[in-house]
């Protein structure tokens, strides 16, 4: 164990939270990802862009190991904090707890706003009532929802607008104190104004968390990303800092996608 | 005949079919109501039967029927819930899933007398339980198991995948996910299925007549291994003595009470389905 940690400390940069190394993913006979490698810097926003079917969501879901369905197979490794997430001795539930996930559609449980925030954390630790109240307040404030809902915490969460529901989903994710947050097109179901407010929230989050965001929206990536990874047909075509990749793409496919939002791959 | 006429004809045909069904059901109900209400009074409900049912009331038959049915529900519900959880959350092999579904539907199609004969051979003869109302409840529980299990499983499978993923994504174990998402959200659907099954169970005669009931001379069983008297077997007994006008009147009134209880169980199932419908698709 000690030996493994030393090896990883050499292999991972100190400002790098996650390192994906040559992963291939299959679902039954379909080869979905091919030799994908990328690194994710600490306290940054990494945007994965690419056309539909490029494998962005597959890659994202393989990071917190939520795609372990029958027929799923992976080769390669994903390292985080000196640990290969696919090692047989890795605690899958601890991994998922440390790597929060926000989905395309806000996923609100049919219970109160208060209970939604506590939904995950209450399964990980025993909480007294004052602790619960503090967690709810702290995390709703972190997503700028507190002032809007503080007088109706016990109302059904479904009564919130769709943008508020997405904020609540993020608050619930933050409550379990993840290190890394995966976001799978979290604004695609929202109107432009709400979308921008979620973007602002994501930018605020990077002070404390590291974010990987899958998006179709190149302008969104341009606005908030520190690093951009362009994927096409299950492979990483190009990756780099947002400024470099957006202003000076090296690959023809990347240039085409950035200028037209279409990919000829 | 053009398309529009065919379409209209089809609608008329379906209306006619539903109309005929309703007329048949309501005719039977109204006829029993007409025949049965004459003998229905508090004395009939609250006193015990005398002269093999030709006189007196049906108090012990009501209590016996409710005991058998409620115990069948208590036995059936956890088994149905557990089997439905395994089927919807753990059983992934489509071939085995298909085999279990076929077996469950097959069990639903087994004639109720077969359950009675099985109970007689297995419990009464082999295990030597004797005629016992608890054995009757066990057999009724197995008889309604497919209805309760299918309802539970369908409710569980209708819960959108995103709720499972959202809870697993928060680091919950599969059991924590089942406990906090699947069971609470499928509970009312499972109860609905159970009550539909119980509505069938309370009216059954064949599965219990050899193993759980006596036709007369029995009051309330004071332990699990005693027989009970029930409404369906009492009705059967009275119908066999229908030459006696008093017995015939009591038979109609007993039938009316039995139908009332069936309606109560079915209404409970409907109320549960509409009032506690928790998983509506979200925006």
Please count the residue pairs, one from chain A and one from chain B, whose beta carbons lie less than 8 angstroms apart. 62
Q: Are B137 and B75 in contact (CB under 8 A)?
A: yes
Over the Cα atoms of chain A, what is R_g?
19
pLDDT digits (tens, 9 = 90+) for B157-183: 999 988 999 999 999 999 999 999 999
A97:B176 CB<8 A: no
Lowest mean per-residue pLDDT among A17-21, A179-183, B278-282: B278-282
pLDDT at position B281 over 50: no
A7 touches B: beta carbon within 8 Å? no
Interatomic CA distance for residues A44 and A212, integer angstroms: 8
Candidate from A70, A97, A162 with C-beta closest to B170: A97
Whether ipTM tops 0.95, in short, is no
| C-beta separation of B209 from B117 below 8 A | no
What's chain A's average pLDDT?
89
pLDDT of A14 strictly over 80: no
Q: How far is CA B71 from CA A45, B128, B222, in A?
A: 59, 20, 14
Could you tell me if B172 lies within 8 Å of chain A, comparing CB atoms? yes
Q: Which long-range contacts (CB under 8 A, 24 or more apart) does B134-138 make?
A: B134/B71, B134/B212, B134/B224, B134/B225, B135/B211, B135/B212, B136/B68, B136/B72, B136/B207, B136/B208, B136/B211, B136/B212, B136/B213, B136/B228, B137/B67, B137/B68, B137/B69, B137/B71, B137/B72, B137/B75, B137/B212, B138/B72, B138/B75
Q: Which residue spans within chain A are E strands per DSSP?
A: 16-27, 30-41, 45-49, 72-80, 83-84, 99-102, 180-184, 210-215, 227-232, 235-241
Q: Does B92 touch chain A (CB under 8 A)?
A: yes
Mutate to test the interface with A, among B170, B176, B181, B189 (most CBs of A within 10 A): B170
Q: CB neighbours of B80 closer than 8 A, spacing ≥ 6?
A: B145, B148, B149, B152, B190, B193, B194
Looking at residues B96-123, what average pLDDT do you find?
91
* Residues A109-140 pLDDT 10s: 999 999 999 999 999 999 999 999 999 999 99
Counting residues of chain B whose pLDDT is more than 70, the rounded percentage is: 97
Between positions 17 and 56 of A, the ones with CB within 8 A of B are: none
Cβ–Cβ contact A234 with B under 8 A: no
* pLDDT over 70, % of chain A: 94
CB atoms within 10 A of CB B276: 13
Q: Confirm or reject contact between A97 and chain B (CB < 8 A).
A: yes
- Phi/psi at A42 (nearest 5 deg)? -65, 150
Burial of B236 (0-12, 13-18, 19+ CB in 10 A): middle
Considering chain A, what percentage of its residues have pLDDT values greater than 90? 68
Q: Which residues contact B46 (CB under 8 A, 6 or more apart)?
A: B57, B59
- CA of A14 vs chain B CAs: smallest distance (Å): 26
Task: Note every long-range contact of A122-126, with CB atoms under 8 Å and residues 24 or more positions apart, other chains counting.
Answer: A123/B170, A123/B171, A123/B172, A123/B176, A123/B180, A124/A97, A124/A176, A124/B171
pLDDT of the residue at B175: 95
| Buried/exposed B173-195: b ≥16 CB within 10 Å, e otherwise | eeebbbebbbbebbbbbbbbbbb
Per residue in A186-241, pLDDT tens?
988 788 888 898 899 999 998 999 999 999 889 999 999 999 999 999 999 999 99
Decide: helix, strand or coil at residue A143. coil
pLDDT band at A7 (very low <50, low <70, confident <90, very high): very low
User: Long-range CB contacts (< 8 A, 24+ apart) of B240-246?
Assistant: B241/B52, B241/B53, B241/B54, B244/B54, B246/B54, B246/B55
Q: What are the tokens at A115? A: 């209970």
Residues of A in contact with B169 (CB under 8 A): 64, 66, 96, 100-101, 173
Q: How confident is the model at residue A68 (pLDDT cuts 50, 70, 90)?
A: low
* B180 to A123: CB separation less than 8 angstroms, yes or no: yes
A246 to chain B, closest Cα gap in Å: 32
Q: Read off the tokens for A86.
A: 């696919």
The interface residues of chain B toward chain A in range 179-238, judged by CB-CB distance below 8 A, are 180-181, 185
Q: Taking CB atoms and an 8 Å limit, are B170 and A96 in contact across chains?
A: yes
Nearest CA in chain B to A97: B171
Task: Name which of A110, A169, A176 is nearest B171 (Cβ-Cβ).
Answer: A176
**Interface with chain B: mutation pick from A71, A110, A162, A173, highest number of B CBs within 10 Å:** A110
Strand partners, A41: A16
List CB contacts (< 8 A) between A176 and chain B: 170-171
Q: What is the pLDDT of residue B283?
A: 35
| B172 to A172: CB separation less than 8 angstroms, yes or no | no
Q: How is residue B282 annotated by DSSP?
A: P
Using an 8 Å CB-CB cutoff, list chain B residues near A108: 282
Whether residues A93 and B172 touch (CB distance < 8 A) is answered with: yes
Whole-model pTM: value is 0.83
Helix spans in B109-244 (H): 112-119, 133-157, 161-169, 174-177, 183-201, 206-209, 231-240
Nearest to A64 by CA among A40, A24, A98: A98
């Amino acid at each position: 164990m000690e030996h493994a940690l030393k090896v990883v400390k050499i292999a991972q940069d100190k400002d790098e939270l996650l390192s994906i190394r040559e992963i291939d993913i299959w679902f039954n006979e379909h080869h979905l990802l091919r030799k994908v490698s990328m690194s994710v810097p600490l306290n940054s926003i990494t945007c994965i862009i690419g056309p539909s079917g490029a494998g962005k969501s597959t890659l994202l879901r393989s990071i917190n190991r939520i795609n372990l369905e029958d027929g799923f197979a992976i080769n390669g490794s994903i390292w985080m904090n000196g640990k290969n997430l696919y090692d047989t001795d890795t605690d899958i539930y601890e991994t998922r707890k440390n790597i929060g996930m926000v989905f395309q559609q806000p996923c609100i449980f049919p219970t109160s706003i208060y209970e939604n925030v506590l939904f995950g954390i209450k399964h990980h630790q025993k909480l007294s009532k004052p602790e619960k109240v503090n967690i709810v307040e702290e995390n709703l404030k972190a997503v700028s929802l507190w002032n809007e809902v503080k007088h109706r915490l016990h109302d059904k969460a479904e009564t919130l607008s769709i943008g508020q529901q997405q904020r609540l989903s993020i608050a619930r994710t933050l409550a379990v104190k993840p290190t890394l947050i995966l976001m799978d097109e979290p604004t695609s179901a929202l109107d432009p104004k709400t979308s921008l407010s979620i973007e602002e929230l994501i930018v605020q989050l990077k002070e404390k968390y590291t974010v990987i965001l899958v998006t179709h929206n190149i302008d969104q990536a341009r606005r908030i990303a520190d690093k951009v990874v362009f994927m096409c047909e299950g492979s990483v075509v190009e990756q780099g800092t947002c400024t470099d990749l957006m202003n000076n793409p090296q690959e023809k496919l990347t240039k085409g996608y950035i200028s037209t939002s279409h990919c000829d791959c | 005949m053009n398309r529009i006429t065919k379409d209209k004809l089809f609608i008329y045909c379906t209306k006619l079919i539903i109309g005929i069904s309703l007329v048949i059901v309501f005719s039977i109900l109204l006829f029993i109501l007409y025949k049965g209400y004459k003998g229905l009074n508090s004395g009939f409900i609250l006193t015990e039967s005398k002269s093999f049912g030709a006189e007196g009331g049906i108090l012990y038959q009501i209590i016996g029927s409710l005991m058998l049915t409620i115990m069948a529900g208590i036995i059936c519900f956890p088994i149905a819930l557990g089997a439905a959880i395994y089927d919807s959350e753990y059983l992934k092999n489509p071939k085995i899933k298909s085999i279990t579904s076929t077996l469950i539907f097959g069990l639903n199609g087994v004639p109720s007398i077969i359950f009675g004969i099985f109970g007689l051979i297995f419990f009464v003869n082999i295990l030597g339980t004797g005629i016992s109302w608890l054995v009757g409840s066990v057999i009724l529980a197995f008889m309604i198991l497919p209805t309760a299990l299918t309802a539970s499983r369908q409710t569980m499978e209708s819960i959108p995948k995103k709720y499972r993923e959202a809870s697993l994504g928060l680091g919950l174990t599969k059991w924590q996910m089942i406990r906090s998402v699947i069971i609470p959200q499928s509970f009312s659907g499972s109860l609905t299925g159970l009550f539909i099954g119980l509505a069938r169970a309370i009216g059954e005669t064949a599965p219990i007549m050899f193993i759980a009931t006596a036709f007369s001379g029995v009051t309330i069983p004071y332990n699990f291994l005693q027989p009970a008297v029930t409404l369906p077997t009492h009705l059967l007994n009275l119908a066999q003595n229908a030459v006696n006008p008093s017995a015939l009147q009591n038979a109609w009134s007993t039938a009316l009470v039995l139908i009332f209880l069936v309606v109560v169980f079915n209404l409970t199932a409907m109320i549960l389905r509409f009032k506690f419908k928790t998983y509506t698709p979200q925006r």
